Amino acid sequence: MVSSTDDPRDRKREPVKFLVFSASMRKDSLNSRLARLAARTIDAHGAKADLAEMREFDCPSFDQDAQEKIGLPQGAQQLQKRLEANDGFIISSPEFNASMPGNLKNAIDWVSRFRPQPFNARHALLLSASPSMVGGNRGLWALRMPLEHLGARVFPDMFSLASAHQAFDPNGNIANAPLAKRFEDNIVAFMDLVEAAKNYPCMKKAWVEFLGEHPGTPADRVE
């Protein structure tokens, strides 16, 4: 859904950029369609979308021995660079067995090894699409946990598209008008938050997590 030019949300924005990608490896998956719609919505509302594919970020299974021998894999390096080049990120993720896809969790684990750690203090919005009646929402709750643990500021209002195999029109938009507006409003609200956080910051906080560990490099959670 593309809003009218009279929409007050179409005011001139301060520069803001978003990485958008689907966590599905299948090119025309429902989540890839939703990611493309999110990118078009961002562009329509005066910001810049960096649309990517999960294949660009795919990594071998995490192995610290491999990291020490050959370094971080190309997929992790690419995701780290794209995160740092953008002000926020949007993931449209399928639900695999009531959780997130393993390839996405694996990529997150690899990228968490970078210093500075690129998820920290970066805003995130989580989307999902599924033929089921819950729209993949259970997987998003699982995905929030590692992202928030790493310091990402995950937007409270996630969006899950139920019966997604019947939801899109031939142009790739959500056919149901009220649901399309809800999706657009959710994207725009997230954009507004990231724009304000980038251009009108009021405070800078360190990422600190203390669960009783003794201080030291292996357990350090402060940046």
CATH of residue 116's domain is: 3.40.50.360
Q: Rounded to two decimals, what is the model's pTM? A: 0.86
Residues listed for the chain: 223
For 140, the 3-state DSSP assignment is helix
Does any domain span residue 200? yes
Q: What is the pLDDT of residues 36-70, one digit of tens each?
A: 999 999 999 999 999 999 999 999 999 999 999 99
Domain containing 104 equals 12-219
Look at residue 91 and tell me if it is in a domain. Answer: yes
33 domain residue, yes or no: yes
Decide if 172 contacts 129 (C-beta within 8 A).
no
Asked if residue 47 is part of any domain, the answer here is: yes
Residue 7 within any structural domain of the chain: no
C-alpha span between 39 and 48 (Å, rounded): 8
CA of residue 143 relative to chain centroid, distance: 10
Task: Provide the number of structural domains found in the chain.
Answer: 1
Q: Is residue 4 part of a domain?
A: no
Helix residue spans in the chain (DSSP H): 30-44, 64-70, 74-85, 102-111, 137-149, 177-199
pLDDT tens by residue, 125-177: 999 999 887 778 899 999 999 999 999 999 999 999 999 999 999 999 999 99
